[in-house]
Structure 1
Amino acid sequence: MLATDELFIAVFGNVRRQQVLDEDPTYCDPYRAFNTYASVLGWGGSESSDKAPCFPPLWEMEEAGGDWDTREGQPRSGSALWVQVGLPNRTGRIIVPIVQIVACAEKVLMRKGFDNLSDVQLMIPLGCGPIVRPSWIAPLFEFSRTRSATTLRYEIDGGEDNSCLHYAQQIIEEANRGLARDGIRFQPPDVVGDSSYLLQEPGEMSRDAWMGRSTGRIKSEVSIPEAFSFDIAAHLAAHVARSCQKLGVRSHILTTASLRNS
C-alpha cells in the first residue's frame, strides 16, 4: 500500500511530433517536460528554477514516462504520458491538486503533439487533505460551436481497501448531485470482483503494487454533453474523489475514464 501521499496520472491517446520540439529524447522527455511546465505554472518545484517559489509547491516531482515514439505506423500499447508526484506533508493543505495535475499533463502533451484523447487514469490520495467541491464547468461548454453527447465508461478501484465498494450507490448518487448543474450524469453502478479491469494502467502505476490487491471495482457509464476532454476528465475525477471522501473513504482510489468500447 502507499505509504506517502502519492498522486499519479496516466493519459492515453496518439502522440505526434511537433516541429518546434527537439528530436533528441534525452533532452525532450516526459519527466523534463512535465517538471518544467509545473515550475512555469507555479505548481511544482523544479531544479531549473533560479529562485525559490513564493509559495509552497502543490507537489514534488518524482517520476514520469510515456510512449513518445512518434514514428508513423508504430503501434502504441502504453500510455502517452504517466506522471507520479508526491504531495508535501504539511498542516492545513488546502487542496488535493487533481485539476492541476490534469491541466499540467494536457499542457505537456499539447506541446509535444497529441490527438484523440481516449483514456485518463488518476490514482488519488483521499486521506491527505480536503477535496473541495469543483467549480461549475457548464459555462465552458458554451465555447463549443457544436456539441454532441458522449458516453464514457468509468471505473473506481480502491485497491485492498474495500470501503468504496460498500458505498458504491451513495458515491454515484453524491457525484450526480454535484454534476447535475453541468448536465453530466452517471448511470447506476455495478460492483464487480473479477480481474477484468476497464483499462490496464502503466506498470509504474500498478494498482496492486501501490494500493494492494484489488478487492473489487465500481463500474458505471457517464453521459457528458460534449466530446471527451482533459477538462471533463479532471472534473469527473474531482467529483468522484469528493464523493468518496464525504462518505468516509480515506484510502487511495484509482479512477479510469475511457472512451473505449463505448
Structure 2
Amino acid sequence: MTKQNKHTKFINLGLKDYKETWDYQEELFKAQVDRKIANRKLPEAEQTPTENIVIFCQHPHVYTLGKSGKPEHLLLDQQGLIDKQAKYYKINRGGDITYHGPGQLVGYPIIDLDNFFTDIHKYLRYLEEAIILTLNDYGIAGGRIDGLTGVWIDFEDMDKARKICAMGVKCSRWVTMHGFAFNVTADLDYFKNIVPCGIDDKAVTSLDKELGYVPNMQEVEDRVKGHLVDLFEMKID
C-alpha cells in the first residue's frame, strides 16, 4: 500500500466562475484517481503518493442541482435566471439544489481519504465540525440535525432551525470532490428562488446576519482552514 501523504495544499481562487472551477476540480480529481490506479500496477517502492488539495473560492450567482435533486426545486425559469444574473448547472455531487454567490465561502477538498481515513460519513462530519468550530470562534452555537447534512443554527428547535452551511460531495476510489458552502455575507434573497437542498420548511442564514456585523472574509477562511488542518491532522508545507 502506498504510504499515507497528509501534506495538503490550500488554494484560494477568489471570485471564480462556477464552471471553470468545476472543470478545475475534475482535472485535479482525475489526476489523483489515475495515480491511484497506476500505483496498483507498480511495486511499492515505485509508487507515487497521491496529493491533497483544498480549494477555497467564491462564485458569481449560480444554482447547482445534485444527482438526487429535483429540477422543480429551482423556482426560476430561464428569463428569471437572466433577470437575477444567475447561472444554473446540473452536476455530479450528491444532494439536491443549492445556491452559490459572492460572500459565501466555498470549500472544495480534492483529497485522497486513503491518506487520512476511509470513512465517508466521518469525512462529512469533519467538514461540518470545521464550520461548527468556526462558528464557535465567533460565539455562535452551530450543530447538526439528524438526517440533514450541513450545519445549522438553533439546531435543537426545529421551528427556529436555519441552515448556515450546505454540503454535497462526490467520492470515488476514496478521492473526494465538491464540498461545502458557508454563508458568511451571502445575499440570502437568492435562496428564495429555490427549495434549498430540497427542504421547504427551514430557513437559511449567514454569519453576518447572526453576528449583526460584517466579519472579515479572510479571517473566516483562515479559521476554517485551521480547523480542517487540525481535524484531519493535515501537514502544511
TM-score normalized by the length of structure 2: 0.29
Greater strand percent: which structure? 2
TM-score normalized by the length of structure 1: 0.27
Greater helix percent: which structure? 2
